[in-house]
Structure 1
Amino acid sequence: MKKMVNLSRIHFPVTTLGPGRRIGIWFQGCSIRCPGCISMDTWVHGRGTTAVDAVVEAVSPWLSIADGITISGGEPFDQREALFDLLRGLRARTDADILVFTGYSWPTICDALAASPSLIDAIVSGPFEIEEPQTMALRGSDNQELHLLTPLGRARFESFDRPIGENDRAFDVMFDDNGDVWLAGIPARGDFRRLQHMLEGSGSTLGISEDTRFPSL
């Protein structure tokens, strides 16, 4: 029986979520639902159902030219079996590094990672906390932790264990066939709303996926 996964989207190249030109894979569905999350559209479960093998095939044309793979969401560890099936499929086809973002704390996921060593090179763990400062690279809030799990992970991501710099304040812009625009990256507090206000000031409209129930700090 085919292993299935719920996906929000895939994209290449992504340049704002790790080093180099990366394949981005976003899972659909999140049970953590951090207040102030920029991706409420990925919270709902049950959308974008497809076979894990089909995802591997879809990204295969990029594997030979990608510097790495970033998996985010939504929450990848809400679909733990599908996540590890996908990781095994990717590992069989590429030596590129793999970075995973999760809102779960490190103690919650470390046993699962120990049971499947070397599938993930680096992981950013912990929920987004809107009240926390944002001063570190690759992290939306400073409570989140960067774990370097393999020699490749240390070689590729050790340079990200540092304060955030101006060059980190960037987005990749993606366009869907239906005209939707997606931004990939780690915004500063209020960046989405500032962009919305800028566009509205010039006569355009922009609907954002940010959780606006809470003020962006």
Structure 2
Amino acid sequence: MEIGISRVHYPVTTLGPGNRIGIWLQGCSIHCEGCISMDTWQFNVNKVSLDELKKVLNLWLPQCDGITISGGEPFDQEAQLIEVLNFLKPYSKSILLYSGYSFSHIENKQPIQNRLIDVLISEPYDHTKSQTKRLLGSDNQKIHFLTTLGERDFRAYLEQPSTKKLDVQIVGDTVWMAGIPLNGMKEIAEASKRDKVTISHSQATIKNN
């Protein structure tokens, strides 16, 4: 079985407590306006075998503190997602998953009903809402503690003030960032112009009303 993967990275320190494995799935049908990861929307690209993904994860799982899964939209590849979650669960590392679907749309899905996810962040990103809560792109999004492991790892972490920091990796002319930047990539790109640096990015266009 193949799975669409945008990228996999370790360590990620901005999307949950500790040093986490970050898995970004490729493909999203929701297309939230203002999304900072529009490059992850396209389906049928960046496909790898699940066996290859598992080999990479096995390198990091012994030392990681947890796993954060985002996208793209993980539930748009539900069968592959279940396979990955079943592989990860025996390691007893907390699994945080972001979904742009409303909780009512996915609450009966197998990963949630079988508690394969420890913490779920649901609801579509809304660029018109405020952004004050830790780990949330917009304050309308909801955090669900699905297991005692998730509650143990995340409850105190989420009560701390948001630091708004980013993990940054530079490969050639590409700068890759993990985290939730305040106000998104457009402001970062505009600010860089003061230093005569031009940044192109994949944040979705926000329509002018």
Structure 1 vs Structure 2: percent identity of aligned residues?
A: 41
* Aligned partner of 1:205 among 186, 193, 198: 198
In the superposition, the TM-score normalised over structure 2's length comes to 0.93
Structure 1 gaps of 5+ residues are none
Corresponding position of 1:103? 100
Deviations 1:113-166 (A, max 9, x none): 46751311101000001111122111111111000001100101112454x725
Distance 1:108 1:35 in 2: 19
Matched residue SS, 1:11: strand
Corresponding position of 2:126? 129
Task: Tell me the amino acid that sits aligned with residue 181 of structure 2.
Answer: P
Corresponding position of 1:82? 80
Contact 2:107-2:113 at 8 Å conserved across structures? no
1:23 aligns with 2:21: yes
Structure 2 gaps of 5+ residues are none
**How far apart are residue 183 of structure 1 and its match?**
0.9
Corresponding position of 1:188? 182
* Aligned partner of 1:5 among 3, 6, 22: 3
Runs of 4+ in 1 over 3 A off after TM superposition: 113-116
**How far apart are residue 205 of structure 1 and its match?**
1.7
Contact 1:53-1:86 at 8 Å conserved across structures? no
Task: Tell me the amino acid that sits aligned with residue 102 of structure 2.
Answer: S
In the superposition, the TM-score normalised over structure 1's length comes to 0.89
Corresponding position of 1:165? 161
CA RMSD of aligned residues (A): 1.7
Shift of the 166–86 alpha-carbon distance from structure 1 to 2, 3 Å rule, reads: closer
Matched residue SS, 2:180: coil
Contact 1:32-1:103 at 8 Å conserved across structures? yes
1:34 aligns with 2:27: no
Contact 2:133-2:162 at 8 Å conserved across structures? no
Shift of the 13–188 alpha-carbon distance from structure 1 to 2, 3 Å rule, reads: same
Task: Tell me the amino acid that sits aligned with residue 172 of structure 1.
Answer: D
Q: How many residues align?
A: 208
